[in-house]
Amino acid sequence: MITKNKKYFQAITIKPIHVNTRSSTDISSMDDNYIVSALKYIHSYLNKNLKIDQILKNMPLLRRFLEKRFIQIPGYPVYKYIYNIRIEKFAEKLLEMI
């Protein structure tokens, strides 16, 4: 049996140029309250010249203890996290200009 006017569709996949992640959701889903408060502080003062000592003023942790816990949860040191977030924000601003 021959059917006329039968249309065939082909799946088209379009890769995203950029994916926006909601850092607020990512941050609040963590179990470590000290790391959560450190991350919130970092995101609040990202445009400032942040130092680890400034972050520690808001929590009762020793510097070394914060650094060890930070490496375990986000996966890299505090300074590297700040650097990466700044690069992401810069890339977002560049994409907005296009």
CA distances from 61 to 4, 8, 58, 75, 98 (A): 74, 63, 9, 19, 43
In a domain, 12, yes or no: no
What lies within 8 Å, CB to CB, of 78 at 6+ separation is: 38, 42, 52, 55, 66, 67, 70
The rounded percent of the chain whose pLDDT value lies above 90 is 10
What lies within 8 Å, CB to CB, of 38 at 6+ separation is: 55, 58, 59, 66, 70, 78
- Residue 31: give its domain's CATH number: 1.10.10.60
pLDDT surpasses 60 at 45:
yes
In a domain, 15, yes or no: no
Find the domain containing 27 and state its range: 23-97
In a domain, 13, yes or no: no
In a domain, 66, yes or no: yes
* Cβ proximity of 63 and 77 under 8 Å: no
Instruction: Give the global pTM.
Output: 0.66
Amino acid letter, 93: K
In a domain, 55, yes or no: yes
Mean pLDDT of the chain: 81
Q: How many domains does the chain have?
A: 1
Question: Average pLDDT of 27-45?
Answer: 83
